[in-house]
Chain A
Amino acid sequence: MSDVSLDVRPGEVVGIIGPSGAGKSTLLRVIAGIESANSGQLNLCSHLYDFPCDPLRLHKPWPKTTLVFQSLCLWPHLSLRENVLMPLRQQMDMSKIERAEEYLEMFQIEKIGSRFPNQVSGGQRQLFALCRALSLDPDLLLLDEVTASLDVEHIRTLREVITDRSKQGVAIVFVSHSLGFVRKTANVVVFLDRGEIHENGPVSILSDPKTDRLKRFLFAADELNEIE
């Protein structure tokens, strides 16, 4: 990535779009503090990380900043409920555990909590990974392709949760290939390609793109929509 500059404020919902290999997930990992950049700065919740550095060894931003990975990464030896509750038990905050139970009910997955990750569908795993991150009550929530395996009803519930969390002041940055989801959920859209931000601004840039690259990208998406 080069010359990437992004300013995310509390309560803002930023949707990052772009072709595969554009650097979207890498950007999220750098923001999450689990990958280092060669140069530049990251100001995360009033803490400045000056790259090149290894954020893991410095002030740890987690779980106030947390990330839901593209590859889910539920711990396979723990039940789904334990996957959600274990980080909360360490914090010994009963209100967060209660909130976790609420999220499980909201996504209608509370009854399968005793199963293990390999015993449920990809979409259900995605929901548990989401519940784990949401229950941590982060100030900055990073979501990498979380809608990939979800059905339309769960995507709708997720949109409601994201809107609710952002109203509570939580900043949310998500990566998605679903332009419909980005249009309906994000306040700000960032178009990334080959490690560079080609265009960013309000959701209206998706209707009125300024750069040729974004125009080509949206044209391809429109073509796909017509086929569907």
Chain B
Amino acid sequence: MLKILSEHAGEFAGGLRTTLVICAWIWGLGIALGTPLGVAAGRYRVLVGMPVRAIGLGLSGIPIIVWLFWLHYPAQYMLGIVVDPKLTAIVALSTLNIFWVADIWRRCYEDCPMQYQLVAKVSGLNPGTIAWRITLPLVARHALPGILIVQINMLHASLFASFISVDELFRAAQRINSQIYKPVEIYTALAIFFLAVTIPVYLVANQIQKRFGRDYSET
């Protein structure tokens, strides 16, 4: 396996780089846009919350690969445009991530006991302080585990980008395998690459959990 890895290091590295670039966009956009959207959905349940829920439900009902293919072929055909498949993959998966992250924030916001905010109000705290020092830490504690699992799932879903010709890690592995046919070694190497990305994400997740996820239960 090491021999294959060293011989095809450039191709594996190129695939890994593409996978990481796609994931960085998906994670960044999903969290940066999904968080305010989810908080707004929790706060304004009818105006923002219901559309977010409806869109999130609709997107969850469509298999990722169908959504990806639809954006890559019929959508571009109907609009008369040709978009780089990498960009299509980023748009498709980021859209899913934004609405899934938003839905997690919305649910956790709605579940956050109102009493804590009422106490803050009668204690004279201003709305900004209530949001930043009270609501956000309490909601984040519940939201973070779910959000981190979704991010891992998005990493795995980035494999589907290979089906629309994005030269990411899985496609690189397939190409190398078609040349030398060593599926055990190549796909084991692929699994190790994914573990190498997933384990640091899990470690970061654990650190964040330790920082924000202290046990609050009362005896």
List residues of chain A with CB under 8 Å of any chain B CB.
32, 34, 56, 60, 62-63, 65-67, 69, 71, 73-78, 86-87, 90-91, 116-118, 122, 125, 132-133, 136
Provide the bound-state CA to CA distance between A28 and B83, in Å: 62
**Contact assessment for A73 and B126 in the assembled complex, using a CB-CB cutoff below 8 Å:** no
- B137, CB-defined interface residue at 8 Å: yes
Nearest first, the 6 A-B pairs at minimum CB distance are A63-B124, A76-B216, A87-B123, A73-B119, A118-B218, A73-B115
Provide the bound-state CA to CA distance between A91 and B216, in Å: 28
Residues of A within 8 A of B125 (CB): 86-87, 90
Provide the bound-state CA to CA distance between A63 and B214, in Å: 29
Q: A91 contacts which of B115, B116, B119, B124 (Cβ < 8 Å)?
A: B124
**Contact assessment for A34 and B141 in the assembled complex, using a CB-CB cutoff below 8 Å:** no
**Contact assessment for B118 and A34 in the assembled complex, using a CB-CB cutoff below 8 Å:** yes
Query: What class of interface size applies to chain B in its complex with A?
Result: 20 to 34
Closest beta carbon of chain B to A59's beta carbon, Å: 13
Tell me how many residue pairs across A and B have CB atoms closer than 8 Å.
68
Residues of B within 8 A of A132 (CB): 123
**18 examples of A-B residue contacts, CB within 8 angstroms:** A34-B121, A60-B121, A62-B121, A63-B123, A63-B124, A66-B124, A69-B118, A73-B115, A75-B120, A75-B134, A77-B212, A86-B125, A90-B126, A118-B216, A118-B217, A118-B218, A122-B218, A132-B123
- B219, CB-defined interface residue at 8 Å: yes
Assess A62 versus B119: contact at CB under 8 Å? Given A117-B218, A118-B216. Answer: no
